[in-house]
Amino acid sequence: MFENAAQTSDVNFKKKLMTFTVVGAGFAGVETMGEINYLVRESVKNFYPSIGKENISMNLVASEEFILPELGSKIGKDAGEYLKKTGVNVITNTKAIDAGEDFVQLDNGEKIFCMTLIWAAGITIDPVISSLKCEHHKSGKIKVGKYLQLVEYENVFALGDCALITNPLTGEVYPPTAQNSIHQSTTVANNLYFMITGKTKLKEFSFESKGTMTTLGRRVAIAIVYGIHFRGSLAWLIWRTYYLYRLPMLAKRFQVATSWIADLFFKRDLTFVGKIKKKSLTKVHINLDAASVKDFFKDL
């Protein structure tokens, strides 16, 4: 996008190339927008001054009244205000209902002309799961009990994104996060072992999150750790330290830490190795039997 925008003299086309839209304002969408916003603005400033910062447009589409609904209204609104200060157009109470090669259509009637759309608004349940003959939630997720067993089949367990698991203490559904899925897998593994070995005491699934963290851009983050709220550079440092600690191998930790340290002192590398693969439709094969061909020409 940088290369094309720097070479075109068509202002409208340049603005399309430099317009980036992220649909979905949860953790994934906000982190993606924060990183892209910084990368694009710094790259135009340092490497592509001919593009002009006035042609950059960043759009974050949120279906709720505020972004990061998992963190509550106060933090969500504060995060939204910060992104606005960095040049992001935060569009709330809005959903994307259609998209093409160069536009995104919103349900408020607005059409955003852009060449880059990133979908971070969640996924639908795979038909393999939603078509199973068992009790489902309206979302298509499978309903399970406290032992993560299907309601109708005690010998079948479900976990992760395909399962609807309710917190018995709050009555709310557990969010589809990695923290929850990892602990669900431990519960299922233990319960399978108990059933195979003949033990009748199954383990109930219960998990209380230690906290949540998300980045808003370069060296800025929001973190809630054991109920304590952190913002800014301190939250960013906590976020980086925790994820570095969670990496499984010492060599990988060293590699990632070295890369992060270099990122503090040097500009982002825009080198692209390889080529962009483009798919094109070249041939269409239609197999028709004699009866179908006869009906086809008859309709003509």
**For the chain, which residues make up each domain, given as ranges?**
2-122+212-265, 127-196
The CA-atom distances, in angstroms, between 68 and each of 26, 109, 222, 298 are 5, 24, 10, 58
Q: How confident is the model at residue 109 (pLDDT cuts 50, 70, 90)?
A: very high
Same CATH fold, 127-196 and 2-122+212-265? Answer: yes
Query: What is the pLDDT, as a whole number, of residue 280?
Result: 56
Instruction: Give yes or no for residue 81 having a pLDDT over 90.
Output: yes
Closest CA to 220 of 62, 15, 41, 79: 79
Give every CB contact of residue 33 below 8 A, 6+ residues apart in sequence: 22, 58, 60, 83, 88
CB 20 within 8 A of CB 59: yes
Q: How confident is the model at residue 224 (pLDDT cuts 50, 70, 90)?
A: confident
Q: Tell me the average pLDDT of the chain.
A: 87
Query: What is the pLDDT, as a whole number, of residue 273?
Result: 64
Q: How confident is the model at residue 278 (pLDDT cuts 50, 70, 90)?
A: low
H or E stretch covering 213: strand 211-217
- The whole model's pTM is what? 0.77
- Residue pLDDT, tens place only, 122-147: 778 888 998 899 999 888 899 999 99
According to CATH, the topology of domain 2-122+212-265 is: FAD/NAD(P)-binding domain (3.50.50)
**Higher pLDDT among residues 290 and 117, named by residue:** 117
For domain 127-196, the CATH superfamily is FAD/NAD(P)-binding domain (3.50.50.60)
